[in-house]
Amino acid sequence: MSLPRILILLCVVATLAAGENLKPGDYTFFVEAQGRTRSYLVHVPRSSNGAKAASVVLAFHGGGSNGRTMITFSGLNDKSDEAGFIAVYPDGTGRRSEMLTWNAGYCCGHASREDVDDIGFVDKLLDDLSRRVSVDPNRIYATGMSNGAMMCYRLASELSNRIAAVAPVSGPMGTETCNPKRPVSVMHFHGTDDKFAPYAGGRGDRSLTQTDFLSVDYSISAWVKANGCPERGVTTKEPNRANDGMIVTRTAYGPGRDGAEVILIAIRGGGHTWPGRDCRLAFLGKSTHDISANDLMWDFFQKHPMR
């Protein structure tokens, strides 16, 4: 083979290795996992030019929802454009495309009953994404709402070789144990008046599932231990910026092994909502504007790349 052809081949291989460098915009992609065709949505921020490997935030929708709904519910595309990370919205499984769930352990719905391998799906999704755009493998993070929050916890435990840190919102652990291969920092947001995934655990008065949820305290304690953090946390109160009748406290545990942290953001009076976002569904409860979950989790993620 001639030298020019060899050089061309090397350039092609290098380009493939670096990803396709998708232009800013919104995309839908598909991967095969466990004999199923699975989908995920991608938002490439306006500032992206493909020259630098990007951070990724996986955002998992709640049970009975889908990735497209999660875009609106969380408002993470706006934060993506501001901060420059790639936002990814995976779709769960189910009989109806608008009512999908995640197999987060003992919950929820179709995905749990059918024992769907959602960990394997996310693993393949990340491989596929890395072929399409330049991704920083040390800065892949996960957040999620409700059943999606529970999925974050499972990923932190079972895919800790790829997930740097997680920020679950309104959902506890979906398994009784966590066994990460490396410390995974956690920032958990939860309202004390959550009627779907109760703060204290048990069955939610308004939950569509009969799941007996683990408590927030159980989830936090499990990850404090897993990350080797001090058992006693330091609690501070967030400023009352919105005067919305809710009180937000931050309890920080750490540093643990490799600088890991576990932080609980408790919203006294808060419901099954995404802090900082307006909630148009009154039955979900109140949503505080004293804080922005998107701002806090992104600041947290930046401090905790893969080590």
- 206 exposed, middle or buried (CB, 10 Å; 0-12, 13-18, 19+)? middle
Which tens digits make up the pLDDT trace of 174-196?
999 999 999 999 999 999 999 99
CA distance 38 to 93: 8
What pLDDT, on the 0 to 100 scale, is given for residue 207?
61
**% the chain with pLDDT above 90:** 85
Task: Judge whether residue 208 has pLDDT over 80.
Answer: no
Which tens digits make up the pLDDT trace of 225-276?
999 999 999 999 999 999 999 999 999 999 999 999 999 999 999 999 999 9
Average model confidence (pLDDT) across the chain: 92
What pLDDT, on the 0 to 100 scale, is given for residue 209?
66
Spatial CB neighbours of 121, under 8 Å, sequence gap ≥ 6: 31, 33, 34, 38, 90
Which domains, and CATH codes, for the chain? Answer: 3-303 (3.40.50.1820)
**% the chain with pLDDT above 70:** 92
What pLDDT, on the 0 to 100 scale, is given for residue 13?
37
CB-CB contact of 274 with 145 (8 Å):
yes
Which range, of 69-78, 156-165, 210-219, 295-304, averages the lowest pLDDT?
210-219
Enter the tokens of residue 49. Answer: 């030019």
Q: First CA to last CA across the chain, in angstroms?
A: 42
Question: DSSP secondary-structure letter at 62?
Answer: P
What pLDDT, on the 0 to 100 scale, is given for residue 10?
36
CA distance 168 to 297: 9
Spatial CB neighbours of 267, under 8 Å, sequence gap ≥ 6: 189, 190, 191, 192, 246, 247, 248, 275, 288, 290
Averaged pLDDT for residues 91-99: 92
pTM for the predicted model, two decimal places: 0.91
